[in-house]
Amino acid sequence: MKRLYYANASDTPPLPPKNPSYGYPQDGDRSLNRLPTTLGSYWHHMITEEFMNVIEGAGIEPDENNLHQLADIFEDFRQRAFKAEGFAGDAQDWANKAKEFAEAAQAEADSKVAQVREAGETQVAAVNAATAASREEIEQKTAELEEKLQTLIAALDAKGGEQVNLVKLQAQEILDAIQLSKNQVEELVNSAGYSMRWLTDAHEGTNLTAALTPNANAKVGDHIINSSGEVFELTELKGTEIVLGPCLAVFGDVGPMGPAPEISIEVSMLDSGARPEVERGGPDESPHFNFKIPKGDKGDPFVYSDFTAEQLQALKGPKGDKGDPLTFGDLTEEQKAELKGEKGDKGDPGEAADVSNLVPRTGNRGSLAGYQDTPTQEASAEKVYTVGKDSPDIFDFGGIGAIGTTDISSDDAASWIKVARLTSVSPQIVVGAGWSFVGGEAPTLETGGVLVFFKCNAKGYINYLSLTA
């Protein structure tokens, strides 16, 4: 499509009318001396510019020989919308799967925390058991040594005399051995230590040793856990007090799951052949995902047969004023020259021609020039009846389809005239390249009207005669 007109176009766009008439078009009423609605140049300018802005906005060069540029744009938009809808559905599926993975990971973390806590309780129980066994061993060895000492003292009393000093010496050695044994066992117990202890209100800084469980033999490096699951390291011993460092970790029950995020999705198009991208933005509570998708291959162009009957009806514009018929005086000198054929060579005069077999100018002319007693041609919603050199000279046209012509360059006949009488519902007109309407605008067809198709060399003209006008 381009800013193309039959004649007398301006170099500058028209201005809006000074006294515009807003509302809807009407046909006028002669009995009331009311004129029909006048469209004017600015109305045509508005319609043309609207279409041009759509075509140029889509990055397409307007072409007066391409009458389906708008259809190509709409089809491309439809294909993009279809693909965008599919990508949006896939994105929602990905979001649902991500949520499932997060819930599974949370459950796995809960299980690991429970295992760690159970292992810590088992370890503390083992240390307590080892401490009790050590103390029992101390008491057992002490009892054995004391029993030996009593036996020796009894023997000393029985022997008396010279042996007293020797026995006392031996008894002292035994007592020393008892003390040494106690010290060794106590040191062994103290060196055992604990890797994990409990302190209900443990916190960073100074805490009371008595509140530990167990509270005996605490040493630097022990780990303390409180009722909230916080773990601290024992960094210093101060008599009845201990000093804890900062919190190292937290083990405890997992809190309730927060609300599901409000996910928003956007789909934008990239140039064809580009790599797809996913861009994330927004906070965790309301993340925004932008799926950048490359354009797909261009689909088949939108053709006339793709229109429904309702869409074809909607494409009609308001009926314009009827123009004056084209006369010979309206043609330019160049157009008049084109109507003339080349002058043939002058032949030698011969015998008189035999006119006995000439086809009559009126009546039934047989199959010559496609004339068959005014036949009826029909079309349907899926078919366009094409008027050409082989069409009847005069024919009736019926049906709900379209009537039209092929491109002027595809018809090799020098010239012809065909007349179509519209006998039923009004059809659409599909005009090929090289044809134009008398008056410059496509008419609104009515039942009972007549279409005249005039082909002359490389030009074609269509005139409409309304029997109701």
Q: What is the pLDDT along the chain (469 residues), one digit of tens a residue?
A: 788 888 888 889 999 998 898 999 998 898 888 889 888 889 888 888 888 888 888 888 888 888 888 888 888 878 877 776 766 666 677 667 767 766 776 676 566 656 655 665 665 566 556 656 656 766 776 677 667 666 766 666 665 655 555 555 666 666 666 666 566 555 555 554 556 788 888 999 988 887 888 877 788 888 888 888 888 998 998 888 889 999 988 865 445 556 666 777 676 777 777 777 778 888 877 777 776 767 666 666 666 677 777 777 766 666 767 777 777 777 788 877 776 666 666 656 656 656 555 655 555 555 554 444 557 776 665 577 888 888 888 888 876 678 888 888 888 888 899 988 888 766 778 888 889 998 888 888 888 888 899 998 889 999 988 876 6
pLDDT for position 245 = 93
Q: Which amino acid appears at position 44 of this protein?
A: H
CA distance 48 to 42: 10
DSSP tally for the chain: helices H, then strands E = 5, 18
pLDDT for position 174 = 64
pLDDT for position 372 = 46
Q: Which two tokens stand for residue 447?
A: 């039942």
Please answer whether residues 269 and 295 qualify as being in contact, where contact means their C-beta atoms are separated by less than 8 angstroms: yes
210 φ, ψ (degrees, to nearest 5): -60, -25
Residue 385, number of CB atoms within 10 A of its CB:
20
User: How deeply is 323 buried, as exposed, middle or buried, from its count of CB atoms within 10 A (0-12, 13-18, 19+)?
Assistant: middle
Please answer whether residues 400 and 425 qualify as being in contact, where contact means their C-beta atoms are separated by less than 8 angstroms: yes
The candidate with the shortest Cα–Cα distance to 153, out of 139, 166, 138, is: 166
Indicate the pairing of strand 223-225 with strand 196-198: parallel
Q: Which amino acid appears at position 408 of this protein?
A: I
User: How deeply is 338 buried, as exposed, middle or buried, from its count of CB atoms within 10 A (0-12, 13-18, 19+)?
Assistant: middle
291 φ, ψ (degrees, to nearest 5): -90, 115
CA distance 56 to 275: 27
CA distance 90 to 458: 56
CA distance 223 to 427: 94
Q: Which amino acid appears at position 150 of this protein?
A: Q
Please answer whether residues 260 and 253 qualify as being in contact, where contact means their C-beta atoms are separated by less than 8 angstroms: no
pLDDT for position 204 = 93
